[in-house]
Amino acid sequence: MCWFAGYEASVRRDEPLSRHTWYRLGGPARWFCTPPDAETLATLLTRCRERGLPWRVLGQGVNVLVRDAGFDGVVFRLDADAFGRVEFRPPVVWAGAGADFPKLIRRCIDRGLIGLEALAGIPGSVGGIVRMNAGGRWGEIGPLVRSVTVVEPDGTLRTLEREALEFGYRRSNLAGRIVVEVGLELAAGDPAAALERHRRIWEEKYATQPPVSHRTAGCIFRNPPGDSAGRLLDGCGLKGLSCGGARISERHANFIEAADGATADDILRLIDRAREHVRRETGVELELEIEIW
207 lies in the binding site for ligand EPU (CB under 6 A): no
- Phi, psi (degrees; rounded to nearest 5) at 249: -60, 140
Q: Which helix (H) or strand (E) holds 292?
A: strand 291-292
The packing angle between helices 191-208 and 101-110, to 10°, is: 150
Q: Is 127 in the site for ligand EPU (CB under 6 A)?
A: no
- Per CB under 6 A, 269 contacts ligand EPU: no
> Which of 20, 47, 252, 275 touches ligand EPU (CB under 6 A)?
252
Compute the least distance from the CB of residue 256 to ligand EPU, in Å: 11
Q: Is 51 tagged catalytic? A: no
Residue type, 221: F
Asked if 257 interacts with ligand EPU (CB under 6 A), we say no
Q: Looking at the chain, how many residues does it have?
A: 293
Residues numbered 45-104 forming contacts with ligand EPU, rule: CB under 6 A: none
Residue 196's identity, in one-letter code, is E
How many residues make contact with ligand EPU (CB under 6 A)? 17
As a whole number of angstroms, the distance between CA 50 and CA 251 comes to 47
DSSP annotation of 223: P
User: Is residue 117 involved in binding ligand EPU (CB under 6 A)?
Assistant: no
CB nearer ligand EPU, residue 117 or residue 289 = 289
Exactly one of 170, 171, 197, 251 is catalytic; name it: 170
* Contact call for residue 105 and ligand EPU (CB under 6 A): no
Beta strand pairing call for 28-33 and 55-58: unpaired
> What is the C-alpha separation between 41 and 101, in angstroms, rounded?
21
**Structure-derived torsion over alpha carbons of residues 75, 76, 81, 85, reported in degrees to the nearest 10:** -130
214 lies in the site for ligand EPU, by CB under 6 A: no
219 binds ligand EPU (CB under 6 A): yes
Taking CB under 6 A as the rule, does residue 229 contact ligand EPU?
yes
**What residues make contact with ligand EPU under the rule CB under 6 A?**
136-137, 205, 208, 218-219, 222-223, 228-231, 234, 252-254, 289
